[in-house]
């Protein structure tokens, strides 16, 4: 059975390097792993506990279902003003009331060595939500300064090798089913 990894970019920008990384992961996924990109965080309403009731807004239900169905997660998120971009923090806030759904291994990718505060903040937020950041699967790549397409990332031998090794480490962190 193939492992299901859900990949989410924290950037809404069309030519986003973080989103390109998520699409490159789809291309370099090792055998036995399927990487699915969730690219609809912009559709989520602003988080409001008053709206966090059943039935959840449709965009929220779709987001939660994708996360629940994943064996592991892949996140690549830019840094804005030394923090987590609002749209991505908003997406995470919608998962807080369902922490069991989020208790899975997470590979954290970072497209910029300059970004230090956002990855640190993300580690704190994700661990608070029962997420398990797998350090062996986490990567920082120097992608700023040019615009990479997913195809270019996946066909660059050294980048593709790093991405593949990260996904292998994530595979190892996924616990085998107990039954």
114 binds ligand FMN (CB under 6 A): yes
Q: Which CB sits closer to ligand FMN, 17 or 171?
A: 17
CA distance 22 to 7: 6
| Positions in 82-111 near ligand FMN (CB under 6 A) | 82, 111
115 binds ligand FMN (CB under 6 A): yes
Stretch near ligand FMN under the rule CB under 6 A, chosen from 11-19, 41-49, 131-139, 165-173 = 11-19
Considering CB under 6 A, how many residues would be counted as binding ligand FMN?
A: 16
Cβ 166 to ligand FMN shortest distance, Å: 17
Helix (H) or strand (E) holding 17: helix 17-28
Which residue's CB is nearer to ligand FMN, number 60 or number 85? 85
Output 32-36 pairs: Cβ under 8 A, ≥24 positions apart. 32/2, 32/3, 32/171, 33/2, 33/3, 33/5, 33/167, 33/171, 34/2, 34/3, 34/4, 34/5, 35/5, 35/6, 35/7, 35/74, 35/167, 36/4, 36/5, 36/6, 36/7, 36/66, 36/70
Residue 78 within binding range of ligand FMN, rule CB under 6 A: yes
Which residues, other chains included, contact 40 with Cβ-Cβ below 8 Å and sequence gap of 6+?
59, 62, 63
Does 38 bind ligand FMN (CB under 6 A)? Our answer is: no
For the window 130-159, what string marks contact with ligand FMN as x by the rule CB under 6 A? --------------x---------------
Residue 81 touching ligand FMN (CB under 6 A): yes
Task: Provide the binding-site residues for ligand FMN, judged by CB under 6 A.
Answer: 11, 13, 16-19, 78-82, 111-112, 114-115, 144
């Amino acid at each position: 059975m193939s492992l299901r990894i859900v990949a989410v970019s924290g950037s809404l920008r069309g030519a986003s390097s973080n989103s390109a990384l998520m699409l490159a992961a789809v291309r370099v996924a090792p055998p036995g792993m399927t990487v699915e990109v969730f690219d609809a965080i912009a559709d989520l309403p602003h988080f409001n506990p008053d709206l966090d009731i059943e039935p959840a807004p449709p965009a929220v239900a779709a987001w939660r279902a994708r996360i629940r169905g994943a064996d592991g997660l892949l996140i690549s998120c830019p840094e804005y003003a030394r923090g987590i971009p609002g749209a991505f923090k908003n997406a995470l806030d919608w998962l807080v009331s369902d922490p069991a759904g989020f208790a899975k291994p997470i590979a954290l990718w970072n497209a910029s060595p300059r970004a230090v505060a956002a990855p640190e903040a993300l580690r704190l937020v994700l661990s608070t939500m029962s997420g398990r950041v797998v350090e062996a699967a986490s990567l920082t790549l120097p992608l700023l300064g040019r615009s990479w397409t997913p195809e270019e990332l996946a066909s660059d031998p050294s980048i593709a090798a790093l991405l593949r090794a990260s996904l292998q480490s994530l595979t190892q962190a996924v616990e085998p089913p107990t039954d």
